[in-house]
A and B are shown apart, each in its own frame.
Chain A
Amino acid sequence: MDNQGLVNLGILDLVVAYSLVLLAIGLAKLKRIGQEAQMLWASLRMVFQLLAVGYLLHFIFAVKHPLPVLAILLVMGGFSLQVIGARIKRKMPRFYQVVGTALLVGCGGVTFVFCSLVVHYSPWYDPRYLIPLAGMIIGNSMNGASLAAERLGAEMRERREEIETALCLGASARQAAKPALRNAFRAAIMPTANTMAAMGIVSLPGMMTGQILSGTEPMVAVRYQIAIMCAITGAVAITAYLIVVQGYRSYFTKAQQLEMQ
């Protein structure tokens, strides 16, 4: 990577940057918004978590072995599953099995295709590429998965009458649940579609900005951004699709009866 234009940030620079958070906390206190403690805690967590992950990545980059890289990816996947589980209060039956499998197949499959066929770096486990690329794919898929699972549950509950009427008329479980599936999938991919539509005009994406700041040619950064957005869209869509098509089945018995908890 070309680092010629890179301006290294020192501790003092970070202290100045952190003063902006303190300014926000000060404003919250002045206006008695009452979020000062949460903002302070969140900002401290952000600093310590990023420092910790920085040291960890430094170590993993130095080791150059696939095992710690795969371990990191597993932790990222597991943590995202736990985050989704914590967000959703009324979980579908077999929630962790359905969402875990969807994340594994959706994110794992797309990361594999993207790294091996699009970026095609070597070796395949090079943490400098694999970890950030998989991280972006998992992070976005986590949001899509969360929306898909939450919306599917809500749709199945709200549409109970409609689903049972369809079953009474001879519909299969899949036919009866089709409107719920459609809405859940739409809800899951909507933010990604919106992000793509606004990209470059409303917002400059983080990865591209980061690459430009670290000295990469803007057009190189743009090509990376386009490619990663395509990968993210694919991963979100596959993950959400797997959640809705596997998830709806968990609401039905083998006799195609709607079984709500």
Chain B
Amino acid sequence: MVTVDSVSFLGRSADGGVVKLLDGISFAAKAGEITAIIGPSGGGKSTLIRLINRLADPSEGRIEVGGTDIATMDPLQLRRMVALVPQKPFMFEGTVLDNLQMPFRYRHETPPAAQSGEVAEVLALARLDRELLERDGRSLSLGQQQRVGVARALITKPQVLLLDEPTSALDRRTSDGLAATLREICHGRNLTMIMVTHDLRLTEKVADYCFYLEAGRILEQGRAAELLAHPASMELKRFLAEPADQEV
């Protein structure tokens, strides 16, 4: 479970000034549920999940993972519990297998072999063909790289999975497949999953809980089906009605 309590974050604007990118954010993401963060670009969604992974620290407020304040945790241990998959996952030099083995190398653990059950499992979950294992990771399409990013995060069995636009480069069919997988993993492994997305179709399909973030503030939150069907705020109504704004 991830609890975010009154979190604010000051960042730098394009002109170098200080700007409040997040303002008093509070929510709880439960284990076994997918929490979707939706909202227009530049609203602070990606910044928020970076804070949960401690790639940056909040200016105010606290974040707890499994009941422990992450500010008191060893950042390496935290990041081994909380995996973040960026929108464009970086592919390290080498094959897809090398990329899947990378987290184990960082932990000084023996990486799983190509024929191992762990590799087979994450390939299936991320809907990747086994033949891709020997391909250069950087030669893959962006959609394939996104799925390698998800597989690479899942292979170490994290307790929390943070996804930044996980389907932005996927076609509809692959996106639907990945959505089904995400639900399956989340419920099957009792994973806490927080997903930043513009994709309302994906949100409808997979999210249990949802909140709408705009200009660094949560304007609305609730059960996903309820929130998307009956938005209360003008901002969310406008966001849901303007598909053009939802393009990445």
Contacts and interface: CB of A to CB of B under 8 A. Distances in A.
Interface of A: 161-162, 164-172, 175, 253, 255-258
B79 A170 contact: yes
A175 B107 CA distance: 10
A169 B152 contact: yes
Given A171-B106, A257-B56, A161 B79 contact: no
A169 B83 contact: yes
Nearest to A261: B12
Interface centre among B85, B86, B90, B103 (most CB of A within 10 A): B90
B86 A169 contact: no
Contacts of A257: 54-57, 75
A161 B55 CA distance: 12
Shortest 3 CB-CB contacts between residues of A and residues of B: A165-B90, A171-B106, A170-B80
Interface in B62-110: 75-76, 79-80, 83-86, 88-90, 92, 102-103, 106-107
B156 interface: yes
B35 interface: no
Contact of A168 (B55, B56, B57, B92): B55
A175 B102 CA distance: 11
Contact of B55 (A162, A167, A171, A172): A167
Contacts of B86: 161, 164-165, 168
B146 interface: no
A162 B92 contact: yes
5 contacts: A161-B86, A168-B83, A170-B76, A170-B80, A170-B103
Given A161-B90, A172-B76, A256-B76, A166 B55 contact: no
Nearest to A162: B90
Contacts of B53: 168
A40 B89 CA distance: 55
A220 B55 CA distance: 58
Nearest to B158: A170
Interface string B33-74: 000000000000000000001111100000000000000000
A161 B83 CA distance: 16
Given A161-B90, A162-B92, A172-B106, A167 B79 contact: yes
Contacts of B57: 253, 255, 257
Given A161-B90, A169-B102, A171-B106, A255 B75 contact: yes
Nearest to B93: A179
Interface centre among A167, A170, A257, A258 (most CB of B within 10 A): A170
Interface centre among A164, A166, A169, A257 (most CB of B within 10 A): A169
A258 B90 CA distance: 16
Contacts of B76: 170, 172, 256
Contacts of B152: 169
A99 to B, nearest CB: 26
A164 B87 CA distance: 13
Contacts of B84: 168
Contacts of B88: 161
A166 B86 CA distance: 11
Nearest to A175: B106
Contacts of A170: 76, 79-80, 103, 106-107, 156
Interface string B137-152: 0000000000000001
Contacts of A168: 53, 55, 79, 83-86, 153
A161 B54 CA distance: 15
Contacts of B106: 166, 169-172, 175
Contacts of A167: 55, 79
